[in-house]
């Protein structure tokens, strides 16, 4: 077997030992495509940034609008609150004024009611007094008709007047028989009026007394009043309901210049004291004098 020596030609050796060349360079059309893609991406990014900025701007505008609306509402609420506070103050003032007016009106009403009550009490007392007077007049009618006495009113008081000629002899203080009889009938009536007091008053004319038993017309008038009072007590009238007084000729009801007038002045008066308890309660609420 023969051995063949492989020999390489220089060309083939060069071919075998050649270093591979660099990557092939892109063509111009490929480069343009890449540029377009970059531009589009940048444009999209820019558009996205613009859209986001616009969104932020809109949201900011919305926030500003809501903030403005909130501020406006707040100002309105402040105005409303101020109006309400003013109204509350006015109502409080009006309420205080109303309470003051109401209190004043209530005070006046209370005063009127007290006055009305007092007037009603006085009217009731007056009606009661009138009833007493009427009963006395009715019971004394027989004596009045017989001319032994007169019943009338003077200075707001009921008076039973008995002529001195019926009770006494001229210039005397001692009761006559006729006088005692007349007083007996009067006493029966007065004894039934236990709720009132009586003043027995002696009166004379202005002619000076001539008898030595009496120092003056005062003395004669007072003595006659005392004797009449004692006779009424003997006839059943309660002593604590009687008092005696002498007026002499200083409380005349007739003209002392005439005989008829002087005769009218010579008299005994039994004065019914009015019941002023209701009036006393009205004026002083029943306070006792100090």
Q: What six digits make up the tokens of 68?
A: 């403005």
Q: Under CATH, which architecture does the 131-278 domain have?
A: 2-Layer Sandwich (3.30)
Structure confidence at residue 240 (pLDDT): 95
pLDDT in tens, 120-159: 887 887 788 788 888 888 999 988 998 889 999 998 889 9
Lowest mean pLDDT among 12-26, 117-131, 154-168, 226-240: 12-26
Average pLDDT over residues 13-34: 54
Q: How confident is the model at residue 24 (pLDDT cuts 50, 70, 90)?
A: low
Residue 11's pLDDT band (cuts 50, 70, 90) = very low
More confident call, 24 vs 77: 77
Distance CA 155, CA 283 (A): 21
Q: Count CB-CB contacts under 10 A for residue 172.
A: 17
User: pLDDT-based confidence at 16, cuts 50/70/90?
Assistant: very low
Residue 90 confidence (pLDDT): 83
How many CB atoms sit inside 10 A of residue 192's CB? 13
Cα separation, 267 vs 252, whole angstroms: 10
147, 149, 153, 156 alpha-carbon torsion, rounded to 10°: 180
pLDDT(49) > 80: no
Which tokens sit at 197? Answer: 């007091």
Mean pLDDT of the chain: 82
Query: What pLDDT is attached to residue 162?
Result: 95
Contact call for residues 258 and 206 (beta carbons, < 8 A): no
DSSP letters, 226-272, are HHHHHHHHHTT--GGGEEEEEEETSS-SS-TTSHHHHHHHSEEEEEE
Nearest Cα residue to 266 out of 190, 169, 187, 194: 169
Q: So what's the pLDDT on residue 4? A: 44
Compare 20 and 125 and report the one with higher pLDDT. Answer: 125
How high is the pLDDT of residue 6? 45
pLDDT of residue 132: 82
CA distances from 75 to 71, 78, 84, 88, 228 (A): 6, 5, 14, 20, 101
pLDDT digits (tens, 9 = 90+) for 185-217: 999 999 998 888 999 999 999 999 988 899 999
- The angle, 0 to 180 degrees and rounded to 10, between the axes of the packed helices 28-145 and 177-190 is 160
Q: What is the Cα 136 distance to its own chain's centre?
A: 44
Q: Looking at per-residue confidence, does 50 or 58 come out higher? A: 50
Q: Which residue has the higher pLDDT, 183 or 38?
A: 183
Long-range interactions of 103-109: CB distance < 8 A, separation 24+: none
Q: How many angstroms separate the CA atoms of 288 and 151, rounded?
A: 33
Nearest to 166 by CA among 153, 175, 154: 175
Instruction: Tell me the pLDDT tens digit for each residue of 57-87.
Output: 776 677 777 778 878 888 888 888 888 888 8
- The span from the CA of 15 to the CA of 37, in Å, is 42
pLDDT higher than 90, residue 92? no
pLDDT at position 60: 67
Q: Determine the average pLDDT of the residues in 151-172.
A: 92
CA distance 230 to 6: 203
Please choose, from the candidates 225, 204, 221, the residue with its C-alpha nearest in 3D space to the C-alpha of residue 271.
225
**pLDDT category, 288, cuts 50, 70, 90?**
low
- At 280, the pLDDT band (50, 70, 90 cuts) reads low
Taken as a whole, the chain contains a residue count of 290
The predicted model gives 101-121 an average pLDDT of 85
- Supply 33's token pair: 């495509």
């Amino acid at each position: 077997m023969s051995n063949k020596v492989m020999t390489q030609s220089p060309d083939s050796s060069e071919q075998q030992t050649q270093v591979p060349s660099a990557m092939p360079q892109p063509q111009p059309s490929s480069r343009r495509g890449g540029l377009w893609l970059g531009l589009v991406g940048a444009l999209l990014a820019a558009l996205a940034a613009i859209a986001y900025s616009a969104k932020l701007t809109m949201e900011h505008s919305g926030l500003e609008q809501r903030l403005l609306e909130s501020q406006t509402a707040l100002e309105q609420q402040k105005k409303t609150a101020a109006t309400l506070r003013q109204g509350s103050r006015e109502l409080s003032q009006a309420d205080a004024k109303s309470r003051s007016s109401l209190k004043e009106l209530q005070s006046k009403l209370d005063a009127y009611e007290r006055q009305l009550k007092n007037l009603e009490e006085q009217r009731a007392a007056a009606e009661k007094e009138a009833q007493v007077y009427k009963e006395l007049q009715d019971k004394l009618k027989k004596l009045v008709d017989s001319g032994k006495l007169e019943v009338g009113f003077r200075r707001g008081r009921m008076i039973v007047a008995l002529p001195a000629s019926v009770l006494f002899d001229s210039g005397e203080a001692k009761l006559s028989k006729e006088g005692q009889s007349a007083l007996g009938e009067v006493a029966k009536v007065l004894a039934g009026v236990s709720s009132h007091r009586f003043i027995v008053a002696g009166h004379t004319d202005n002619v000076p007394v001539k008898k030595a038993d009496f120092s003056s017309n005062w003395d004669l008038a007072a003595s006659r009043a005392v004797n009449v009072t004692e006779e009424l007590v003997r006839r059943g009238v309660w002593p604590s309901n009687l008092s005696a007084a002498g007026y002499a000729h200083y409380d005349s009801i007739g003209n002392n210049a005439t005989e008829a007038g002087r005769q009218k002045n010579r008299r005994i008066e039994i004065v019914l004291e009015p019941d002023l308890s209701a009036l006393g309660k009205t004026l002083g609420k029943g306070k006792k004098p100090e």
